[in-house]
Amino acid sequence: MTESCKSYLKQLSSEISIELIEIKPCHLIENKKKKSKEAEIINKYVSGFFTVALDENGKSYSSRKFSEKLQKTLENFSKIAFVIGGADGLDNEFLKRANLVMSLSALTLPHHLAKVIIIEQIYRAFCILKNHPYHRE
């Protein structure tokens, strides 16, 4: 985990509990079945969660709109899972079942960067909700 991730997670620890779970890629499975096998494994971890699938074709939010969406979601769900897919992306069936498909960028991002971005945006969302000066407009 990068120092940036650790720093944001430490700052968030007083607000919420965050658990990072990384699933090993399914290298030994043919490409056609790889994403569905990865989705099967992911589903075991996110059962009962409001699931946000991160995908470049998902809905885009400004930081302020994301903070509002996060606040409304937390009012109705105690657990939220943000899911970053494998190297080949997320399974189409998984995307269909997700509560929300969200884009961090129209660009394809490497996993370690996507992880930092979503953790930073969660931190930023809490700062916005608390009127903390971290977020400037």
What are the pLDDT digits (tens) for 100-132?
999 999 998 898 899 999 999 999 999 999 998
**C-beta separation of 70 from 125 below 8 A:** yes
Domains of the chain: 3-16+32-129 (3.40.1280.10)
Task: Give pLDDT, residue 32.
Answer: 65
Question: pTM of the predicted model, to two decimals?
Answer: 0.90
Question: Which residues are CB-neighbours of 45 under 8 A, at least 6 positions away?
Answer: 21, 23, 81
Rounded-to-10 torsion of CA 91, 96, 101, 105: 40
Instruction: Output the pLDDT for position 1.
Output: 73
Ramachandran region of residue 51, left (φ > 0), alpha (ψ -120 to 50) or beta? beta
**CA neighbours within 13 Å on the CB side: how many for 90?**
27
pLDDT value, residue 124: 95
pLDDT in tens, 27-80: 666 666 888 889 999 999 999 999 999 999 999 999 999 999 999 999 999 999
Confidence of residue 23 (pLDDT cuts 50, 70, 90): confident
Q: Please state, in angstroms and rounded to a whole number, the distance separating the CA atoms of residues 116 and 8.
A: 9
CB 81 within 8 A of CB 21: no
